[in-house]
Structure 1
Amino acid sequence: MRDALVAHARQSIVRGSKSFAAASRLFDPATRERVWLLYAWCRRCDDIADAQDHGGTLGAQDGGEESFAKIRTLTARAFAGEATGDPAFDALGVVARETGLTPAMAEDVIAGFALDAADWHPRSEADLMRYCWHVAGAVGVMMAVVMGVAPDDEDTLDRACDLGLAFQLANIARDLAEDDAAARCYLPAEWLAEHDIPPGEQMKPPYRATMARLAARLCERAQAHRCSARIGAARLAPRQRWAILAAAGIYGEIAVEVARRGAKAWDSRTVVGKGRKIAWIGKAAAQALLPVPRHCHADAEARRFTRRDLIAMTRPL
């Protein structure tokens, strides 16, 4: 059964994230399979919440509460060791038993789907970052545990969270038009108000230039968290470090390209081609052998929020 779940998970990551699939091949075999198993659960939860297939076109968003309840129920069954009837949730049960992932870790992720189910929108940058923590930073923490990081190694887990935050900020910048088409906006309302952009009109032509500047702001935030993640990656085993640096480079290029394209960033989806992925895999191999550059330490200090900051926030979203 495990072999079948691993095969399903491999297909899921190949379909759902070519960038992460490429980076995952760099892990040692045992870690690679466990990363695939965890990814399959994350991808399936996201697809259920968004009524989509492996990150494709968003479906109808009128069944949010039912979708959220399904995610929570199947996840609980997976942790209880029960068959769920869904290979992605069964995959979570397997990797949890093998690595010590806990229901509390999964609940941090599920809370992000609850926000989408409630048609939530961020008011402030702090709100945005707490959302990113739930849907991506908490995934980074789970991935770190899968790679063998001790659950009490708080600083390394903080930096694993930072990689997830960087990925999500880049995704938000890239997908502003796609999210707008589904009546979603993850830019803080305060940012839009600063520029007198009416709610729901942010992607209309008169505001494209301003939206490009706000997207660049997201990409700048992503850079700080990516540098922090690189510091944490230096503590991992060599092959794990290589894989994480490759993923960080590939996703980092998405952010760089969105910022470079400016107002044209949403004329077509920003992607990193196969050649550039291969180039980043090679560059990451060199980075894995070298000390973390000084500028990364300085850039990491520019983070406005750390994982512990985000967890400590008590104001409801």
Structure 2
Amino acid sequence: MSDLRAAYARCRALNARHGRTFYLATRLLPPSQRPAVHALYGFARLADEIVDSGAATDPAADLDALERLLADELAGRRTGHPVLTALADTARRHRIDPVLFTDFLASMRMDLHVTEYASFAELDRYVHGSAAVIGLQLLPVFGTVAPPAHAEPAAAALGRAFQLTNFLRDIGEDLDRGRVYLPMDVLSAHDVDRDLLAWSRRTGRPDQRIRRAVRHVMAVTLATYREAEGGIKLLQPPARPCVRTALVLYRDILEQIAAADYNVLDKRVVVPRTRRAAVALPGLFSALAARAGSGRLAWNRPDENR
């Protein structure tokens, strides 16, 4: 196995282990596109582990070192780091703007010192780098049937929707790390503060004020999914089943939150396996049909040679 192939295999393993819902959706992509998606996931996971695993003695320094290594890889200087090797190869093949990686790392650094956000406008500055740029990174991998700029708003919206969903699902876990991602003005409007969140997390007891705040953020998240959904038709047909499946499965997390009566501080909701299979199977048939009929309307076609 070549070093590059091994690097991509490492990223695939990270995706399969840590991003089960997203990994399931990637199985609907043409095989030629999957390695790039795994590489982008692998890099995001690498940075996330520096920030949140607790293993790093100086996470800020580790993020700086990661950024320097990435710059070396993007400049053609091999570092021997498998995830960065795969990422740099993906960035070159698909002409991904390096600024998107810089913006991502900037948001990861925010997690080291920012513990709450005053409003959605303030939160969105964080979410741009932590999630919207992921959608923009994936766009040249998937390809579009129109000028890419037309698809960029929806691609960024999908990243934001996924991140907001994570915030809602992981309120309790984030609170354990000292962070609150739900905007403070929304919480205050429903008479919720950190002490109330901590009480509910500690006791497992629900509170109507927290329920109302969660419903408020969920409504914003659902609107963001609607914005993102309209962009699926702008993608190359082989990528659409993957993106649609990921969207549906992640949006289903919100349904699970509602089914739990918005009591998510002491538990982590998941989409049942039966539901994941029910969504993925039609997606598989759509993916096979799209692959059979694709290749005639490309605006931009990624380099698929590997």
TM-score (norm 2): 0.84
1:176-191 equivalences in 2 (<5 Å): 176-191=171-186
| Cα offset, 1:213, TM superposition | 2.2
Residues 187, 34 of structure 1: alpha-carbon distance in 2 compared, 3 angstrom cutoff:
same
- CA distance in 1: counterparts of 2:29 and 2:18, whole angstroms: 18
- CA distance in 1: counterparts of 2:96 and 2:278, whole angstroms: 33
Per-residue displacement from partner, 1:78-129 (whole Å, max 9, x unpaired)? 2122223321122211101111112212112112112112234211111112
Q: Which residue does the alignment assign to 2:50?
A: 48
Residues 2, 121 of structure 1: alpha-carbon distance in 2 compared, 3 angstrom cutoff:
same
Q: Secondary structure at the match of 1:234?
A: helix
| Cα offset, 1:152, TM superposition | 6.1
Given candidates 109, 117, 120, the residue that maps to 2:104 is 109
Per-residue displacement from partner, 1:212-238 (whole Å, max 9, x unpaired)? 222222222221221222211112222
Q: CA RMSD in A?
A: 2.4
Aligned length: 282
User: What is the letter of the counterpart of residue 214 of structure 1?
Assistant: A
The answer on whether the counterparts of 2:165 and 2:251 sit within 8 Å (CA) in structure 1 is yes
- CA distance in 2: counterparts of 1:286 and 1:91, whole angstroms: 29
Given candidates 35, 38, 61, the residue that maps to 1:36 is 38
Q: Which residue does the alignment assign to 1:264?
A: 263
Q: Secondary structure at the match of 1:213?
A: helix
- CA distance in 1: counterparts of 2:42 and 2:145, whole angstroms: 23
Identity of aligned residues (%): 28
Structure showing greater radius of gyration is 2
Given candidates 87, 94, 107, the residue that maps to 1:99 is 94
The answer on whether the counterparts of 1:105 and 1:138 sit within 8 Å (CA) in structure 2 is yes
Q: Which residue does the alignment assign to 1:245?
A: 244
1:157-176 equivalences in 2 (<5 Å): 157-176=152-171
1:73-152 equivalences in 2 (<5 Å): 73-149=68-144
Residues 283, 166 of structure 1: alpha-carbon distance in 2 compared, 3 angstrom cutoff:
farther
Q: Secondary structure at the match of 2:234?
A: coil
Q: Which residue does the alignment assign to 1:314?
A: none
Q: Which residue does the alignment assign to 2:295?
A: none
- CA distance in 2: counterparts of 1:64 and 1:196, whole angstroms: 34
- CA distance in 2: counterparts of 1:199 and 1:162, whole angstroms: 28
- CA distance in 1: counterparts of 2:51 and 2:182, whole angstroms: 19
- CA distance in 1: counterparts of 2:89 and 2:145, whole angstroms: 19
User: What is the letter of the counterpart of residue 37 of structure 1?
Assistant: A
- CA distance in 1: counterparts of 2:150 and 2:115, whole angstroms: 30
| Cα offset, 1:141, TM superposition | 0.5
| Cα offset, 1:149, TM superposition | 4.1
The gaps in structure 2 that reach 5 residues or longer are: 290-306
Moved more, 72-81 or 29-38: 72-81
The answer on whether the counterparts of 1:109 and 1:135 sit within 8 Å (CA) in structure 2 is yes
Q: Which residue does the alignment assign to 2:27?
A: 25
The answer on whether the counterparts of 1:250 and 1:277 sit within 8 Å (CA) in structure 2 is yes
Residues 254, 38 of structure 1: alpha-carbon distance in 2 compared, 3 angstrom cutoff:
same
| Cα offset, 1:283, TM superposition | 4.7
Q: Which has the higher contact order (CA 8 A, sep 6+)?
A: 2
TM-score (norm 1): 0.81
- CA distance in 2: counterparts of 1:212 and 1:78, whole angstroms: 46
The answer on whether the counterparts of 2:172 and 2:264 sit within 8 Å (CA) in structure 1 is no
